[in-house]
Amino acid sequence: MLIPALDLIRGEVVRLYQGDFNQQTTYHADPIAVATAYRDAGAKFLHLVDLDGARDIEKRQLPLLQAITEATGLPIQTGGGIRTRDDVVGLLDAGVKRAVIGSKAVKDPETVLAWLDEFGPEAIVLALDIFIDDNGQRWLATEGWQEKSSVTLDDLLNQYIERGLRHVLCTDISRDGTLQGSNVALYADLKSAYPSIVWQASGGVASLDDLVQLAAVNCDSVILGKALLTGKFTLEEALACWQNA
């Protein structure tokens, strides 16, 4: 599945370079129009990131998230600063299908495992941002990539898989927002090592050939952000490529 992504700040569609709020580009002032255009182009799922909520839970854009959900009628997954059970409940009550949990899943796994038990594996996506060292070790980053944890991707996954984890969005942060191509080898390895997980590849997709390569290694889904916003290809072209790969 191809999943268009919208990053939201103050009600606008933006992109950050390498997660840096000081390197922000604004693309559209009407995210509902963009989301419905993606739906009309054939999207079956959307990924929304509430960057205001990620920085300050008091500024969570819940009304906008609900408006996009209602306007498109599509299943939506949403992340950005989810720290409490009430945050998860608020999103699900707003019509969001899956809550995307990032830093909390790394820093407080017992709490997030409890949410997985309570809400079920179809309501939770772990968003795991990694950087890969010179020895090939995959370390998890937190707090919008500002902090490097002492936890590896593999160690964390093993905890969650035992409790029924189903969905993981994995970003190689060296690629995100760069349009330098996806880390295909990473997703090939992850799909082979953890076949029970539905993997969402994120970061670096810049061409239709990137999609062909990801499909070839049986990656389940791909998040499409900057490539669509900058016109590297259209969603219709991407969907046709994915279906024929």
Q: Which residue has the tokens 């990620």?
A: 54
* Contacts of residue 167, Cβ cutoff 8 Å, sequence gap at least 6: 98, 121, 122, 124, 125, 126, 197, 198, 200
Active-site position among 7, 52, 87, 176: 7
User: For this structure, is 7 an active site residue?
Assistant: yes
| pLDDT single digits (tens) 84-100 | 999 999 999 999 999 99
Residue ranges per domain, the chain? 2-244
Q: Has domain 2-244 been given CATH number 3.90.1150.10?
A: no
Side-chain-side CA neighbours of residue 208 (13 Å): 14
- Residue 58: CB atoms within 10 A of its CB come to 7
User: For this structure, is 87 an active site residue?
Assistant: no
| pLDDT single digits (tens) 172-203 | 887 665 567 789 999 999 999 999 999 999 98
Active-site position among 50, 52, 87, 129: 129
Q: What percent of the chain has pLDDT over 90?
A: 72
| pLDDT single digits (tens) 149-171 | 678 999 999 999 999 999 999 99
